[in-house]
Amino acid sequence: MPHCYFCQKGVKGEIDFKDTASLRKFTAVSAKIRPQKRTGLCAQHQRRLGEAIKRARYLALLPYVRE
Q: What is the pLDDT of residues 36-66, one digit of tens each?
A: 999 999 999 999 999 999 999 999 999 999 8
pLDDT at 64: 94
Domain boundaries defined on the chain: 5-58
Q: Which fold has domain 5-58?
A: 30s Ribosomal Protein S18 (4.10.640)
Query: 55: closest CA among 19, 2, 30, 26?
Result: 19
CA dist., res. 56 & res. 52, Å (int): 6
pLDDT at 13: 87
Q: What is the pLDDT of residues 7-43, one digit of tens each?
A: 999 988 899 999 999 999 999 999 999 999 999 999 9
pLDDT at 26: 95
